[in-house]
Each structure stands twice: as C-alpha cells, then as structure tokens.
Amino acid sequence: MAKKSYRQAINDALRQEMRRDPNVIVLGEDVAGGHGASGETGGVGGVFGLTGGLYKEFGPTRVLDTPISESAIIGAASGAAVTGMRPVAEIMFVDFVGVCFDQIYNQAAKFRYMFGGKAKTPMVIRTAIGAGFRGGAQHSQTLHPLFTMVPGLKVVMPANPYDAKGLLISAIRDDDPVIFMESKVLYDMEGEVPDEAYRIPFGEANIVREGKDLTFVAFGAMVPRALAVANTLAAEGISVEVIDPRTTSPLDEDTILESVAKTGRLVVIDESPPRCGLAADISSLVADKGFRSLKAPIGKVTCPHTPVPFAPNLEDEFMPNPRRIEEAARAVLAYS
C-alpha cells in the first residue's frame, strides 16, 4: 500500500469523487488561485495545497474560486446542494466561521428537518483546525463543539491519512451537511492509504490501541498524542486503550462505553476549551450511561479557558501535550 500524507489523502478523495460524480464541485478562496493575476491561474490549490491540481484537471466550472465572502461561499454551497449539486466548500480556517455561521446553523443544517424531510443538502464544509501552527488567536481554534451541538450537522475529525480519505469520501456521498475538520498539524503526517476509493462510515470509532487498565478518548490531532503517551505507559506495564471516535456527531457511544466497562478508568483528551466541549460531553455520557463501570473520577485534558496564545512556549502549554496527558492518566490510575 502506498504511503501518503494526510494532505495527499484528502486531495485523492476530492479528485476521485470529482471523477466519479460530475455534480461534485469545489468552491472557496484560492482553491484554484491566481484568477485575474498576471501569472499562472489555478496553481495555488488552496492555502494549504489541499485542492492542488484539481483546477488543472477539472477546470473553472468544477473548481470555483470565490471572493473572500464566507457567507456567500456557504450559501452558494447549500443553495447548490438543495438543487442537485454536491459541493465541497472550503473555509480556509475554522476561525472564519464567525462570519458565516448563520448560513451553516440556521440554514443548511435545518433544511432537512424544517422543511419536513423534503430537502436534501449534500454538502461538505472542509476547514482547517487546531493550534500548534503559531497562527495566533484567530487562526488556531478547534471549535468542533460549536458544530457538534447543532442538530443536522455531521462533524468529522480525521486523525490519520487513511481515515482522512475514507471519511471525506463518505462525507461527499452523504446527503446531509458535513463539517470536515482537518487538523493543520497533521497535514504532513504520513500513513498507508489505498489508491482506490473507499469509505469509512460515520459513527464508528477506531480502536487505535487495545488496552485493559485505562481508556483514552481523543479527537483529531490529539489521537497521535494520546497514542504516544499510551506507548510510554506501556513500557511500565500499564495497558491503555486509545479510542478515536472519528466523528463527534454521530458519536459511537457504544465503543466508548464498552471500553470503560472493561477498564473502569477514563481520560478524555480534547483540543477545545474545558466548558461545553467534547471532554465535558464524553464525561457526561460516561457518567450517565457508564456510571457503574467507573473506578475513578474521569480525567479531562483540554485547553485552558483562554484564546490561543501566540508565543510558542505558551501555545505548546495551551495544547494538551504529552506531559499533561500523562499527568492526568497517572492521577486517574492512582485513584482507588
């Protein structure tokens, strides 16, 4: 199997779906790039290169550069979706969702239910998330809880190249609006990715590592960090199960509850603030439906309740890092 980066895996998925279905289009800021400029048109392929080469293959009717107008991008995507297209819109950084959230949560997310089941909105919003890129407070957020709490949206957080491709293909073929959250710090991560198209279903967690003493639940870029700490603890004979839910909604509750039933101890690692985030949400789930399994209070490793700081040392401490994850794990393991 070929080794590919997370970035290449996403590009593969887009290209293969565009070849398969003429209704799949890509739109966003600089997804082609260079329009109206003196040099090459279509050579930018997105600020992170995710849509590279698509303009050359599919041309301006399938790869649409838009003005910097996020509301119009999302509205154009949802309007195209309900009338027969399968648009993949790019919001360059998830932080920019503030200027177009109405079109997501009040419009696209609601069409199906609000119109009595008679509208389909098959659209994907691809967006780059996460800190660790020295991007400062307005280019580094994760924000998946904002989307997860909106009925009607599906929320995907791939944690490796294989999942990125399979989940994006599922997202494009899905008839509901899907928020596809790409971790910036994973774009260069390499892994085995099949050349052919394949789908990974939503709502099926990946058991990244099996274990019996402690359960880690982690999302997106936190998965490899959680795995690294699990491997460290394994050297001491501590067996940690690492679960990557892959989608925050739908959520594979069963896999999480089964794991906690086995281990009795849980640490949730999530790159969002402590209140109303996924760590709080998963803790609530286990307290509600897995209370009798618990042998210790649930550990939560999140960002502090602050904007993302710029200075590298502050940002590194802001993110759930291996030291903080390990400390939380040891505290939960020590409880008796």
Partner 1 sequence: MQLSRDDLKRAYRSMFTIRTFEERVVKEFAQGNIPGFAHVYLGQEASGVGVCFDLSNDDYIGSTHRGHGHCIAKGCDVHGMMLEIMGKEGGLCGGKGGSMHIADMSKGMLGANAIVGGSPPIAVGAALTQKLKGTGKVAVAFSGDGASNQGTTFEALNMAVVLKVPAIFVFENNGYGEHTASSYAVGGPSIVERAKSFGMPGEVVDGSDFFAVREAMGRALERGRANEGPYALEIVCSRFTGHFVGDPQAYRLPEEVAKAKANDPIPRFRNAVTEAALLEHADLDAIEQEVLAEVEDAVQVGMAANRPSLSTLEKDVYVRY
* Contact criterion met (CB below 8 Å) for 198 and 169: yes
Q: Quick one: tokens of 329?
A: 């794990």
Distance CA(251)–CA(245), nearest Å, equals 7
Residue nearer to partner 1 on the CB measure, 85 or 229? 85
Interface residue with partner 1 among 18, 50, 64, 298 (CB under 8 A) is 64
Q: What are the C-alpha distances in Å from 233 to residues 25, 90, 182, 216, 265?
A: 46, 39, 28, 12, 14
Name residues whose C-beta falls within 8 Å of residue 287's C-beta, 6 or more positions apart in sequence.
294, 298
**Closest C-alpha among 173, 119, 181 to residue 146:** 181
For position 80 contacting partner 1 by CB under 8 A, the verdict is yes
Q: Output 82 or 185, the one with its CB closest to partner 1.
A: 82
Closest CA to 108 of 87, 77, 85: 77
Which of 82, 128, 143, 167 touches partner 1 (CB under 8 A)? 82
Minimum CB distance to partner 1, residue 52 (Å):
22
Query: Per-residue contact track with partner 1, 23 to 42, x per CB under 8 A?
Result: --x-----------------
Degrees, nearest 5: CA angle 177-178-181 = 150
Q: Which is nearer to partner 1, 21 or 188 (CB)?
A: 21
Task: Using the minimum distance from each CB to partner 1, give the nearer residue, 5 or 107.
Answer: 107
Residue 203, by phi and psi: left (phi above 0), alpha (psi -120 to 50) or beta? left
Quick note: the x/- pattern for partner 1 over 89-118, rule CB under 8 A, is ----------x--xx--xx--xxxxxxxxx
Mark whether 139 is an active-site residue: yes
Q: Is residue 164 within 8 Å of residue 126, measured between CB atoms?
A: no
Three-state DSSP string of 98-114? HHCHHHHHHHHCCHHHH
Instruction: Please give the Cα distance from 258 to 138 (Å, whole number).
Output: 38
Region near partner 1 per CB under 8 A, out of 159-167, 185-193, 243-251, 257-265: 243-251
| Nearest to 233, CA basis, from 214, 257, 218 | 214
Kindly write out the interface string for residues 135-164 of this chain, putting x where it contacts partner 1 by CB under 8 A and - elsewhere.
----------------xx-x----------
Q: Which of residues 167-226 bind partner 1 (CB under 8 A)?
A: 176, 203
Number of residues that bind partner 1 (CB under 8 A): 46
Q: Which is nearer to partner 1, 72 or 296 (CB)?
A: 72
| Contact flags string 251-290 toward partner 1, x per CB under 8 A | x---------------------------------------
- DSSP code of 293? G
Residue 154 or 225 having the CB closest to partner 1:
154
Min separation Cβ 182 and partner 1, Å: 22
Q: Tell me if 66 contacts partner 1 by CB under 8 A.
A: yes
d(CA 107, CA 81): 12
Q: Name the pairing type of β-strands 24-28 and 86-93.
A: parallel
Minimum CB separation of residue 118 from partner 1 in Å reads 5
Residues that bind partner 1 (CB under 8 A): 25, 61, 64, 66-67, 69-85, 87, 99, 102-103, 106-107, 110-119, 151-152, 154, 176, 203, 249-251
What amino acid positions are annotated as catalytic residues?
A: 139
